[in-house]
Structure 1
Amino acid sequence: MSGAGSTRREIVVADVGGTHARFAIAEIAGGKCLSLGETTKLETADHASFQTAWEAFGSRLGRELPREAGIAIAAPIAGDTIKMTNNPWIIRPRLIAEKLGLDAHVLLNDFAAVAHAVDGVGEEHLLHVTGPDKPLPEEGIISILGPGTGLGVAALLRENGRSHVIPTEGGHADYAPLDSVEDRLLAALRDKHNRVSVERVVAGPGFRTILEVLAVLEGRPVPKGSDPELWTLALSGKDSLANAALDRFCLCLGAVAGDVALTHGPGPVVIAGGLGYRLREYLPQSGFAERFVSKGRYRELMSAQPVKLITHPEPGLFGAAAAFAKANS
């Protein structure tokens, strides 16, 4: 049977995070994303609202935008007003169609979009990190988490040939230190934030705090630079203190990933997020794997779970397109 869902058509896709808003034109048909056009990345700080950023994308594209869209936002999709955690924009779901001139759209959490991407990409976009080197299972639950400006967490349930995406706010669970260095880290963060979530540690801004704690421990000055510059320094391997902070970040990420896997299943894990992608070469050789499986009586069970990293360059946009296509097939 043919229908609207089987017809090839273009839609706008957007992936709105704390630092950047990404836009592209996607082609969909048959409940799937067939292709993704060139990405336009805008700084959220340079635009007053999502609507003005949308208009800026249209101006750059130089053509009339399609009247259908898949929109992923780094916030819980609930209520009449969406206030983003790491972005001052306020989005009112009921007004989206009117403000953007849309006939149809899907609005979803950004990591729900990434979960749709994990479900839709091929194995060529899934890099092995640790555990058994085998494809993701066709049945069961898969956890997706990724560090960026914040820490996104979602779950993908595959059951009886169907896939169900479950958005969560697991990045805001309490942080649990596992050694004396991390006790210091928790104390430093508690002084700033009172309650310390895992997002305060294993997301982009958390790296600076780790670096500062290690600097105090050694009586050394903290390397200068913005957060992105410090990340670049750490990944370059040119500064021993920054490299030690990177090792600690990977240890903490492994522990959190293991906790998320236990909470959801346990089952396989896929690492995503902007920082996840930057860590794709470093993570497999770090202490991530040991911390992931170090769950006491469940060590053997955790050792049986594959951990992969999605290497698709724009999983949020791809997933937003896939979610719209699936909802309109």
Structure 2
Amino acid sequence: MTEVVSVDIGGTHARFTIATIGADGTIELGEIETLHTADHASFQTAWEDYRKIMGGTLPTNVAMAIAGPVGGDVIRFTNNPWVIRPKMIPEKLGCDRYTVVNDFEAVAHAVARAGEDQFIHLTGPDKPLAPTGRLSVLGPGTGLGVAHLYREPDGAYRVSATEGGHIDFAPLDQIDDAILARLRKRHRRVSVERVVAGPAISDIYQTLAAMEGKPVAEEDDIAIWTRGQDGSDSLAAAAVDRFCMSLGSVAGDIALAQGGFGGVVIAGGLGYRIRETLLKSGFAERFKDKGRFQELMASIPVKLIIHPQPGLFGAAAAFASEHA
């Protein structure tokens, strides 16, 4: 049995737990502590706070899932100001072994190891994800994470991180055109992350309001998500549906680009929170709407992973794969 400090660091939160990896490869997560990145000047200070919470000592194995590119001597986060230098991890954290992966690389590890009961069906044929071949994994949060997973016939698997959340946004109708026009006022190049990530709901909402001649004040993204989900604001509900449609379009594009024809998995806390809306929205139609490839897209099973902490679980799985 091996104990590992598993950490999942996003733009808004850093989640910590002690993961236990059994001799047979099973992974169990302990109690989870969530710290706000904005409350800490660096990862080092967040680590020290977690160590205090845990009584002053931690295991000497560390697995880190990071929201951003992880290659090179310096890791800079996409959506928070922290900086991590991997070569200094043993000294700074007092660890013997460590693994650092992109956050959606970790999620893809979780997809590879999670049981069928950890997925719910969204669209396409209602069958399990392909046991061999390539799967695409993506999910909205503070940003948009993308990875892919390749399953070998012998049960082994390979995971690759990508920065697919930064491909160009491709409008499909007049509302998409209006969203793009609004975003172009602030960004010369508009990536899909500007439209398919949690903060994007504000721009979608503002665009719809302007189209109806009902300007609204700028407000907190969470408030729009809440009203859009509880039915108290029809304009917010329309914004949430538009978000789901755009997520479907992007998921289909990623599957085409990666060859993820064995299945597509939507992940991330936001995806889980809007799962009921996804099922009723235009997500499925937009996913399939790929012209000559519509029949192919309709043959791909699309799932939502419902594991409560796929980033933490996947970081520990990545550690197990690297250090087994």
- TM normalised by structure 1 equals 0.96
Counterpart for residue 9 of structure 2: 16
- Show the counterpart of 1:4: none
Q: Secondary structure at the match of 1:305?
A: coil
Distance 1:148 1:31, change over 3 A: farther
Secondary structure of residue in 2 paired with 1:281? helix
Question: Over residues 39-79 of structure 1, what are the superposed CA-to-partner deviations in whole Å (9 max), with x where a residue is unaligned?
Answer: 10000000011111111111112241000011010011111
Q: Find the counterpart in structure 2 of residue 279 from structure 1.
A: 274
Q: Are residue 179 (structure 1) and residue 173 (structure 2) matched?
A: yes
**Alpha-carbon contact 1:31-1:322 (below 8 Å) kept:** no
Alignment gaps of 5+ in structure 1: 1-7
Q: Is the 8 A contact 1:173 1:198 kept in 2?
A: yes
The CA deviation string for residues 242-288 of structure 1, in whole angstroms up to 9 with x for no partner, is: 00001100110000000000011141100001211111121111100
CA distance in 2, matches of 1:134, 1:149: 30
Query: Which one of the candidate residues 145, 153, 159 is aligned to 1:160?
Result: 153
Aligned position for 2:223:
229
1:61 to 42, 47, 54: 54
Other-structure match for 1:299: 294
Measure the CA separation in 2 of the matches of 1:63 and 1:84: 27
* SS of residue paired to 1:32: coil
Q: Secondary structure at the residue paired with 2:11?
A: coil
Matches within 5 A, 1:2-151: 8-30=1-23, 32-151=25-144
Show CA shifts across 1:210-233 (max 9, x none).
000000000113366411121111
**Residues 15/292 of structure 1: CA separation in 2 closer, same or farther (3 Å cut):** same
Q: Secondary structure at the match of 1:54?
A: helix
Equivalent position amino acid for 1:212 in 2: Q
Question: Match of 1:319, as an amino acid?
Answer: G
What is the aligned length? 322
Distance in 1 between residues matched to 2:187 and 2:23, nearest whole Å = 47
Which runs of no fewer than 5 residues in structure 2 stay unpaired? none
Q: Report if the CA contact (8 A) 2:5-2:58 is conserved.
A: yes
Deviation of 1:160 (Å): 2.5
Work out whether residues 27 and 313 of structure 2, in 8 Å CA contact, stay in contact via their aligned partners in 1.
no
For 1:179-198, what aligned pairs fall within 5 Å after superposition? 179-198=173-192
| Greater CA drift, 228-237 or 105-114 | 228-237
Q: 2: CA distance between counterparts of 1:248 and 1:102?
A: 45
Cα separation, partners in 2 of 1:37 and 1:133, compared to 1, 3 Å: same
* Rounded Cα–Cα distance in structure 2 between residues aligned with 1:34 and 1:314: 12
Q: Residue 5 of structure 1 aligns with which residue?
A: none
Determine helix, strand or coil for the equivalent of 2:275: coil
TM-score of the aligned structures, taking structure 2 as reference length? 0.97
Matched position secondary structure for 2:121 = strand
Is contact 1:126-1:309 (8 Å) kept?
Answer: yes
Amino acid at match of 2:270: L
Q: Secondary structure at the match of 2:62?
A: strand
Indicate if the aligned counterparts of 1:24 and 1:317 stay in contact, CA closer than 8 A: yes
Alignment root-mean-square deviation, CA? 1.1
Residue of structure 2 in register with 1:170 after alignment: 164
| SS of match in other structure, 1:15 | strand
* 1:35 match: secondary structure: strand
Letter in 2 for 1:255: S
Please name the residue that 2:212 is paired with: 218
